[in-house]
Every structure is written in structure tokens, then in C-alpha cells.
């Protein structure tokens, strides 16, 4: 697998120069570990079984390269398997629109099945879908569909690899798939409500074929620690790590999941100024920060803060969250050191961002109808020093206000468009990806196994500042 990934960029460039077919395996817009590993493994599998030796099979991670340090569990697992990040191809480095317009693109969607509106032109290039969520969009022949409600999309990719008579699975690919399945299925613990019999069966198959794979408890604990490790991130990076934005007619609200206690978050230096700058640069009127942390018994604890420089809007958002009954968040006010930040403990620890999001959407619909406020968009600050396709420039959901795109860097395939260059539209975060499946807490692990392995596994992760942060 390492050799395949190392040759992807050169193979892609050769196909572009010689006008040969390019088969892209595209993960979802959240680019979590499941999406990344599924794309890498499936593209490698296609390349090894393809009867077309001259075609390029390219996994594309559906985020800008500058956002990848925020996927701490992904960077950790790649480093463990000695796969350099330089061998990966990101969405801002390849022009899929140009490839499609040149008639060179075939597209497989993995860990998602709906393209955002900005990618509507790519719909006719989709030839296969593999996803583990309920299908919300029908696709007729010749598109092949694999859809099953399992805990991890990597399970479906693993099954596809095992079903083929050609032996393509190597130890690196197996380790990536195995670690992903174990993490997504919460260490295969039934009480977490994620694992299915198929997940368990495919994980066991990987273990039987490669007996030297790390024990499930060890790899789960290592990946889990890496996923929630924000020790090396700035306030801005913590907010961007797991961010979702929704909009009404004239109001944009962002929701960010942060993996520290709210007290620790509010103690960050100049946090109020950072929140103000974060919202102004991205055109957000309000920001809901949802924190999650775990105690010594691995029980989850949630807290929530609402920031806005517009007092009336902040008060209305807080009232909507306090009054919610479906679900009830169980909010209790906390003292906040900043007047622009209202803080709460969240009694309902099962109410993740995925469950809070509909409350915010309902609020926006009602707020728009009552016409309580009409902010002037012409005074909204434009993002400064935004990198191409970065999280700053991602479009919001329906009703969001557009912003000018900064100059784009050269991408693979740009030259196919000649003078009629069509810039790649940025892609939004995947609304189907919840920030944390561990609503009932982590399963109890073997302390002896973790202690033994952790003497040799370094989980410490220090992310560099994002290149777009000046």
C-alpha cells in the first residue's frame, strides 16, 4: 500500500498529460478517519485488480491540506503505519471539475453518497457508492450501490476486498482498516450501540489473517486519545476541528465541538477576542461551543457556551436552547468571565451536536419569520489570509451569504481547462458525521493491556499551527 500511495501523484499527472482515464475515490467532507482510510484502501484495491493498467486510481481526501492537522486521530494512525502525509492528495490539490469536463473522470463516493450542490456537475461521473448510512438519494444504473447500516464504512470496504479472489490485502492496509473499525465501533462494545455482527466478523477476519495486529483495546485507546488530543491546537484550530455552520435568512450560527472542559476552554488566553475574530472572519453572527470531556471512570460530561457580539441574538439563542424539550438539554447556568459568553453545564450528556443542530435550525426559521434583526451584510468583515479551499471559505448550508474566493494555487488538472479555468468550489463539512459516538461513555478497557502497550506507543500529538493562521 505504501508503494501505491507514493506513486499516486505521478500516476495522476501522467494520466492528465496523456488524456487517460482517472478514477477518483472521494471520501466525505468531514474527512474523519473512516472516510480517509476507506478512500485510501478502496483506491489501492481498485488499482491492484483493475484490468486497465494505464488508468490512475486516486484516493482524494475531501478537505484542504491545511486542515489535515486537525484530524489528529488520522495523522496519528498514518504516522504509526509510516505513511507520509506528502503521499496524500487533498481536495484543493486536484481539479475534479476540469477532469470531468475533459471527459477523464470516474468517481466513487465512499462514506457518503450525496454530493453538495457545489459539486452537482460531478454527479454524472459517479459510478459507484459505498456508504453505511441510510440512502437519501436514489441512483440508477450503471452506478453500483453498496449501502448497509454497519458501524464503520471501513467494514464494507474490508468485505469488498475479502470477496475478491485477487489477494491485495497487505499488513499496512489491514492495520488501517482494523484500527478504523475498532474506533468507529467503540472497541466493539455492544453497550455503545455502534457495532454490528458484520463489523465484528470483518474485524476478526483481519485479526486472523494478521495475528500481529495490536489488540483491540490498545489501538482503540491510542486512537481515542489522539482523537481528543487538542493540546497542541490554538483556540481557532480547536473551533475548526469539528465545526458545523447553519444559516437562516439573515443570521448565521456555527456549532463547534471542543474536546476539553468548558472551564479550561474559557481559560485560554484572550479567548473572548479569539471568538470575536473567529466569528467576524467567517461571517458568523453567533457561535455555540459544545465541550465534551471524560472523568476517571470514562463517563462523559458536556458543557455549552453561546458567544455573540449581538446581545439580543445571544439572549434569543440561549432562551431557545434552555427551553428545548426535544431533546431537553438540562442546561444550568455557569459563571462566565466574559460578558459576550454565556456558559452552561449540560445535564443531558446524550445530547450531542447532532441533536442540538435541529434546535438551532428551528430557532433560525422562527427568528427569520419574526424579523427581529436585519444585520447589514455589507459591514461584515471578509476573511483575511484564507488559504484555498480552507474551512474559512467553505459554503454554509441553505441561506448562507457568499464570500469572495481568494486566489487559488495550481492544482492537478487545472491545465485541462485552458483559459476557461473553473475554480473548484469548496465543500462543506458532512452534516451526517457526529462529533462523538460515545454518548454512554467509553467501554471499560483492560488496564493491563493498555499499560503494557502504552509503554511503547507514544500518543502525544503536537499539531502545528495552521498555515492560514498568521
Mean pLDDT, each 10-residue run in order, the chain (470 residues): 94 93 94 97 95 87 93 95 96 95 96 91 95 85 92 97 94 98 95 93 98 96 90 88 88 94 91 96 96 83 95 96 95 93 94 91 82 36 37 38 42 56 36 41 42 39 40
Q: Pick from 254, 312, 255, 256: which is nearest to 283 by CA?
A: 254
- Cβ-contact 158, 198 below 8 angstroms: no
- Per-residue pLDDT at 97: 95
- 90 phi, psi to nearest 5 deg: -105, 165
- Per-residue pLDDT at 455: 39
- Per-residue pLDDT at 368: 62
- Per-residue pLDDT at 464: 43
Quote the pTM value.
0.69
- Per-residue pLDDT at 119: 92
- Per-residue pLDDT at 142: 87
Q: How far apart are CA 246 and CA 136, in angstroms?
A: 20
Amino acid at each position: 500500500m505504501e508503494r501505491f500511495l507514493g506513486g499516486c501523484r505521478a500516476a495522476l499527472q501522467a494520466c492528465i498529460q496523456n488524456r487517460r482515464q482517472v478514477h477518483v475515490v472521494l471520501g466525505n467532507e468531514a474527512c474523519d478517519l473512516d472516510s480517509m482510510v476507506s478512500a485510501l484502501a478502496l483506491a489501492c484495491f481498485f488499482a491492484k485488480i483493475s484490468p486497465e493498467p494505464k488508468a490512475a486510481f486516486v484516493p482524494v481526501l475531501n478537505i484542504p491540506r491545511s486542515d489535515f492537522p486537525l484530524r489528529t486521530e488520522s495523522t496519528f494512525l498514518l504516522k504509526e503505519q509510516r505513511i507520509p502525509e506528502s503521499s496524500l492528495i487533498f481536495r484543493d490539490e486536484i481539479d475534479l471539475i476540469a477532469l470531468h469536463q475533459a471527459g477523464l473522470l470516474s468517481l466513487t463516493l465512499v462514506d457518503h453518497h450525496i454530493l453538495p450542490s457545489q459539486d452537482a456537475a460531478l454527479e454524472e461521473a459517479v459510478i459507484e457508492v459505498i456508504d453505511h448510512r441510510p440512502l437519501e438519494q436514489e441512483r440508477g444504473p450503471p452506478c453500483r450501490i453498496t449501502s448497509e447500516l454497519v458501524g464503520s464504512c471501513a467494514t464494507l470496504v474490508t468485505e469488498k476486498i475479502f470477496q475478491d479472489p485477487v489477494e491485495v490485502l497487505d499488513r499496512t492496509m489491514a492495520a488501517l482498516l482494523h484500527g478504523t473499525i475498532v474506533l468507529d465501533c467503540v472497541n466493539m462494545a455492544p453497550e455503545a450501540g455502534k457495532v454490528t455482527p458484520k463489523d465484528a466478523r470483518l474485524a476478526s477476519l483481519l485479526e486472523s489473517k494478521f495475528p500481529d495486529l495490536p489488540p483491540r483495546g490498545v489501538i482503540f485507546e491510542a486512537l481515542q486519545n489522539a482523537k481528543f488530543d487538542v493540546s497542541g491546537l490554538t483556540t481557532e484550530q480547536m473551533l475548526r476541528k469539528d465545526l458545523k455552520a447553519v444559516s437562516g435568512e439573515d443570521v448565521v450560527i456555527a456549532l463547534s465541538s471542543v474536546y476539553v472542559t468548558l472551564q479550561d476552554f474559557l481559560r485560554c488566553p484572550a479567548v473572548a477576542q479569539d471568538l470575536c475574530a473567529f466569528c467576524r472572519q467567517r461571517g458568523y453572527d453567533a457561535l455555540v461551543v459544545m465541550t465534551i470531556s471524560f472523568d476517571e471512570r470514562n463517563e462523559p460530561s458536556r458543557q455549552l457556551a453561546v458567544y455573540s457580539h449581538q446581545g439580543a441574538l445571544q439572549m434569543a439563542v440561549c432562551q431557545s436552547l434552555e427551553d428545548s424539550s426535544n431533546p431537553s438539554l438540562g442546561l444550568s447556568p455557569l459563571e462566565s468571565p466574559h460578558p459576550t459568553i454565556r456558559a452552561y453545564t449540560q445535564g443531558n450528556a446524550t445530547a450531542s451536536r447532532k441533536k442540538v443542530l435541529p434546535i438551532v435550525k428551528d430557532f433560525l426559521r422562527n427568528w427569520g419569520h419574526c424579523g427581529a434583526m436585519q444585520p447589514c451584510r455589507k459591514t461584515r468583515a471578509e476573511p483575511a489570509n484564507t488559504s484555498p479551499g480552507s474551512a474559512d471559505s467553505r459554503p454554509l448550508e441553505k441561506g448562507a451569504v457568499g464570500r469572495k474566493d481568494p486566489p487559488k494555487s495550481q492544482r492537478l488538472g487545472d491545465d485541462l481547462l485552458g483559459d476557461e479555468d473553473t475554480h473548484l468550489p469548496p465543500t462543506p463539512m458532512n452534516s451526517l458525521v457526529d462529533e462523538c459516538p460515545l454518548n454512554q461513555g467509553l467501554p471499560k478497557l483492560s488496564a493491563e493491556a493498555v499499560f503494557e502497550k502504552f509503554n511503547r506507543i507514544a500518543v502525544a500529538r503536537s499539531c502545528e499551527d495552521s498555515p492560514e493562521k498568521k
